[in-house]
Amino acid sequence: MTYEKYYTSAQLSELEQRAEKIGEERMRAVQQEWTELFAAYQRAM
């Protein structure tokens, strides 16, 4: 995915800093939480 299409260079820099701050493990955990949330939403529909 080309994030440059959607974000300015300043925004990309901010996102990189945030990612470094929270770490890969937490990012993966949150991605998993979103996956579970969407699955629960679909089951409820």
d(CA 45, CA 41): 6
What pTM does this model have? Answer: 0.64
Q: Does residue 3 carry a pLDDT above 90? A: no
- The shares of helix, strand and coil residues in the chain, as percent rounded to the nearest 5, are 85, 0, 15
Residue 2 pLDDT class (50, 70, 90 cuts) = confident
Round to the nearest angstrom and report the end-to-end CA distance of the chain: 29
Q: Does residue 1 carry a pLDDT above 80? A: no
